Amino acid sequence: MPTASAPGKFILFGEHAVVYGKPAIAIAIDLRTEVKAERSSSFRLDGRAISEIRSFYIREMVRRWRGGPLSMEIRAHVPPSSGLGSSAALTVSMLGALHSFKSPAEKENIAREAFEVEYTVQGGASPTDTSTSTLGGAVYISEKKEENFRWEIRKNGKSWKVHSLSIPNMSFVVGVTGAHSSTRDMVERVRRVVRRSPFGKDVVDEIGSIVMEGKRALEKGDLVRLGELMNENHELLSLLGVSCTDIERLIRPIKDRVYGAKLTGAGGGGSVIALTDKAEEVRRILEERGKSAYIVNIDKDGLIIK
Ligand code: MEV
């Protein structure tokens, strides 16, 4: 039975602005989703008929699939709707499992198709989440081709160049607020701000500059500057209207124990990411105030098909 698995991710810098073609840096984490698939007389998912499945991502993948009915099982370890790339991990692993019934799947092709699925379901997306889940490790998205270029994804006049990025050893803690948000709604909220005011566009440009400075700080291993930039990126995301009380309630009590902290992903709930060398202490504080908290390790593999 073909089995594929793919990791979740967090965005270190650049969420939302990357939808407008600005750069971003994301890191795949050691929380995975696994999909097993086998031929069947009708489409089934965890024993249920596909008509009972509410996930738009799954419906969209099944709609596109031309290879006959399959029975699939999903084991998801990425918390859902929490800014940690659960939909990308699901989309990439399911496409990996589906493609293994056809020709050997190139990672690049899976990443492209996964992006199209997210774009359709979310009504707009960048390839950050899906390419990070496919490649694993740290991923840098930019307008220009640079060192360790992997592939380019274009859509509606925008071009995102996807690169692998080597980063120093760092300790990150994720705090999950437990408040769920829809990426589609948050992307739409930012779109309204950017369309209506020059201020919105300036904020997006400013986030782009922070990503570039963040990349330089990563290259130097300058954790202090990285933390400051994470805090600045968070302030700018708040100005775009994607932070909320649940997020601020997690950030406040850890401020003096971390290099930096910010919301990660679409916002409006979801998760907070903190860079710290007091990981266990920060994890405990976040867990007391949120739903759950993890000390996350970097996933180096991305999509694995067995
Ligand atoms: C969601 O994890 C990241 C966003 O920038 C959307 C995207 O890039 O597709 C909000």
pLDDT > 80? residue 209: yes
How many structural domains comprise the chain?
2
Cα(90)–Cα(76) distance, rounded to whole angstroms? 8
pLDDT band at residue 219, thresholds of 50, 70 and 90? very high
76 bridge partner residues: 33
Give the chain's mean pLDDT.
Answer: 96
Nearest to 273 by CA among 219, 220, 214, 216: 214
The tokens describing 238, both together, are 């708040």
Q: Is 266:187 a contact under the CB 8 Å cutoff?
A: yes
pLDDT, average across residues 225-242: 98
pLDDT band at residue 212, thresholds of 50, 70 and 90? very high
Name the pairing type of β-strands 271-275 and 260-264. antiparallel
pLDDT in tens, 249-260: 999 999 999 999
Question: Distance from the CA of 167 to the center of ligand 1, in angstroms?
Answer: 21
Whether residues 180 and 280 fall in one domain: yes
State if residue 19 touches ligand 1 by the CB under 6 angstroms criterion: yes
Question: Distance from the CA of 227 to the center of ligand 1, in angstroms?
Answer: 21
pLDDT in tens, 50-76: 889 989 999 999 999 999 999 999 999
The Cα angle at residue 88 between residues 280 and 120, in degrees rounded to 5? 145
Q: Is 269:246 a contact under the CB 8 Å cutoff?
A: yes
Among 122, 126, 141, the mutation site with the greatest number of ligand 1 atoms within 8 A of its Cβ is: 126
| Dihedral angle sign, alpha carbons of residues 136, 139, 143, 146 | negative
How far are the Cα atoms of 167, 171, 244, 276, 303 from residue 280, in angstroms, in the given order?
22, 10, 25, 9, 29
Q: In this predicted structure, what is the pLDDT of residue 183?
A: 92
Looking at 143, 167, 191, which one is the last position of a domain?
Answer: 167
* Annotation says 129 is catalytic: yes
Among 9, 10, 11, the mutation site with the greatest number of ligand 1 atoms within 8 A of its Cβ is: 11
**CATH number of residue 93's parent domain:** 3.30.230.10
The minimum-distance atom of ligand 1 relative to the CA of 266 is: 10
Cα(251)–Cα(227) distance, rounded to whole angstroms? 13
How far are the Cα atoms of 40, 105, 160 from residue 96, in angstroms, in the given order?
18, 7, 22
Whether residues 22 and 113 fall in one domain: yes
φ, ψ (nearest 5 deg) of residue 39: -60, 150
pLDDT, average across residues 135-160: 97
In a domain, 255, yes or no: yes
Q: How far apart are the first and last CA of the chain?
A: 9
Q: Is 109:82 a contact under the CB 8 Å cutoff?
A: no
pLDDT, average across residues 243-251: 98
pLDDT in tens, 9-41: 999 999 999 999 999 999 999 999 999 999 999
Whether residues 157 and 17 fall in one domain: yes
pLDDT band at residue 96, thresholds of 50, 70 and 90? very high
In a domain, 148, yes or no: yes
pLDDT > 80? residue 104: no
In a domain, 301, yes or no: no
Q: In this predicted structure, what is the pLDDT of residue 102?
A: 82
Closest residue by CA, ligand 1 atom 2 = 265
Q: Which domain holds residue 225?
A: 172-296
Whether residues 9 and 83 fall in one domain: yes
Question: Distance from the CA of 127 to the center of ligand 1, in angstroms?
Answer: 8
Looking at 167, 183, 202, which one is the last position of a domain?
Answer: 167
Whether residues 13 and 159 fall in one domain: yes
| Helix, strand, coil percentages, rounded to 5, for the chain | 45, 25, 30
pLDDT band at residue 105, thresholds of 50, 70 and 90? confident
pLDDT band at residue 294, thresholds of 50, 70 and 90? very high
Whether residues 247 and 290 fall in one domain: yes
Active site residue: 30, 46, 129, 222, which one?
A: 129
In a domain, 179, yes or no: yes
pLDDT > 90? residue 275: yes
**CATH number of residue 244's parent domain:** 3.30.70.890
Question: Distance from the CA of 7 to the center of ligand 1, in angstroms?
Answer: 16
pLDDT in tens, 159-197: 999 999 999 999 899 999 999 989 999 999 999 999 999
Whether residues 15 and 134 fall in one domain: yes
State if residue 190 touches ligand 1 by the CB under 6 angstroms criterion: no
